Amino acid sequence: MTITRSELSNRMSQTVVHGDTIYLAGQIGEGNGVTAQTQDMLSEVDRLLASVGSSKSHILSATIWVADMQQVDEMNVVWDGWIDPANPPARACVESRLVAPEFLVEIMIIAAMPA
């Protein structure tokens, strides 16, 4: 089965498509505060999924890391407004120190290609 990678660096690919399954690298966002970073991060998820012919309606699972669980409600407001309510994915959300202190939220997505 073919593996297609896009937006490669020497460290990783931003998308990997294997068969009908799409894997996104962990996505972070820019901005001041968890709301702005979540909006930016999910916009990047939209862009990456569209670049391989899919969309948020085809997300199978999402793993979300937040630097401070006291901000999870703020992140969830953005998530709830963004996600396709008819096709919610399996999801986990945990507190974790991220790669740099300015990052407040990160997401990793596994999605399917449309039928």
Q: Where are the domains of the chain?
A: 3-112
Angle at which helices 72-82 and 34-51 pack, to 10 degrees?
40
Residue 6 is predicted with a pLDDT of: 96
Q: Is 3-112 CATH 2.40.50.140?
A: no
Q: Which residues contact 90 (CB under 8 A, 6 or more apart)?
A: 60, 61, 62
Using DSSP, state whether 91 is helix, strand or coil.
Answer: strand
Low-confidence ranges of the chain (pLDDT < 70): none
Give the start-end residues of each E strand in 9-89.
13-18, 21-24, 27-28, 59-66
Q: Degrees (nearest 5) of the Cα angle 21, 25, 100? A: 160
pTM: 0.95
Residue 110 is predicted with a pLDDT of: 98
